[in-house]
Amino acid sequence: MRVVWVRLAAAFGILLAWNGWAGDLNGPVSFVPWKVIVPGDPPSIAPLTLYWIPASRDDFKHSDLLFSRSLTAFASQCVAMNVIRTDDGAMIQKLGVASALPIVVLIGADGKALGKVESERGALRVTAVERLVRDQLRARESTLDGQLDDARKKALAGDRDSAVSLYKSAWDLRCVFPRKGREAQRELKKLGVVLAEALQ
């Protein structure tokens, strides 16, 4: 079974190369950087992780989830894109999936499920998956805006330690929200805290 998935990944790579060449002629094509998780291997750790469990290899090869500008953009914001194989029962159980495949589950850094998209007539709607991630990112950005505002108030009130703690929390999310991370970095510098690590 593992050999089959390896061959599938290789074939998918050829497909990407071919379509990438064709895309130069007909406009940009966005290939989502999905990573197929081998059963037993630990999945990647990220602030948000999108788990896609296709119904079969054919479902994987022909799914609209392979091509999405929005999902590709989300991946650049440290949203991990993982594919779980149908024979990975342990991972499927861990994700709490009990409904029919295919399905997509969004997980936070703490391992808690934040939402899911179930299939409609045996297929996943890429727009529904995009909306799931987009809504979660917007909610987190709104929370972060409030956190930065609170940090500014703490700094003005002379509560330096609380302000530094809040700004550092915002800095930790710099990959997801780069502008907010840079803002936190600037404010920390004003408070005498210089972060040596370059903004990613």
> Which positions ≥6 away from 85 have C-beta within 8 Å?
1, 5, 36, 37, 38, 39, 53
Measure the CA–CA gap between 154 and 87, rounded to whole angstroms: 51
Predicted local confidence at residue 23, as pLDDT: 38
- Assign 84 a pLDDT band (cuts: 50, 70, 90): very high
Domain boundary among 124, 150, 167: 124
Domains identified in the chain, total number: 2
pLDDT at 88 over 70: yes
If asked whether residues 44 and 89 sit together in one domain, one would say: yes
We report the CATH number of the domain holding residue 106 as: 3.40.30.10
Predicted local confidence at residue 135, as pLDDT: 97
pLDDT at 200 over 80: no
- Which stretches within the chain are classed as H helix? 2-26, 57-62, 69-75, 89-94, 126-156, 160-171, 178-190
Looking at the domain assignment, is residue 133 inside a domain?
no
- Assign 171 a pLDDT band (cuts: 50, 70, 90): very high
Domain boundary among 72, 89, 124: 124
If asked whether residues 42 and 75 sit together in one domain, one would say: yes
Predicted local confidence at residue 145, as pLDDT: 97
User: 79: which 2 tokens?
Assistant: 């949203």
If asked whether residues 21 and 120 sit together in one domain, one would say: yes
Looking at the domain assignment, is residue 75 inside a domain?
yes
Measure the CA–CA gap between 170 and 168, rounded to whole angstroms: 5
- Assign 99 a pLDDT band (cuts: 50, 70, 90): confident
Residue (of 129, 130, 109) closest to 118 by Cα position: 129
Domain boundary among 124, 151, 168: 124
Q: What is the mean pLDDT of the chain?
A: 86
Higher pLDDT, residue 113 or 26: 113
Percent of the chain exceeding pLDDT 70 equals 83
Measure the CA–CA gap between 26 and 19, rounded to whole angstroms: 10
Least confident of 22-36, 105-119, 150-164: 22-36
Which range marks the domain in which residue 32 is found?
A: 2-124
User: 57: which 2 tokens?
Assistant: 């290899």
Q: What's the whole-number mean pLDDT along residues 164-175? A: 94
E strands, the chain, where?
35-37, 48-53, 79-84, 103-108, 113-118
Predicted local confidence at residue 92, as pLDDT: 95
Looking at the domain assignment, is residue 67 inside a domain?
yes
Residue entry with tokens 């990438």: 20
Looking at the domain assignment, is residue 120 inside a domain?
yes
59-81 pLDDT per residue, tens: 999 999 999 999 999 999 999 99
140-153 pLDDT per residue, tens: 999 999 999 999 99
If asked whether residues 110 and 154 sit together in one domain, one would say: no
* Amino acid symbol at 169: S
If asked whether residues 113 and 26 sit together in one domain, one would say: yes
Q: How many CB atoms lie within 10 A of CB 93?
A: 10
23-48 pLDDT per residue, tens: 333 446 679 999 999 999 988 889 99
Report CA torsion sign: 156, 160, 161, 167: positive
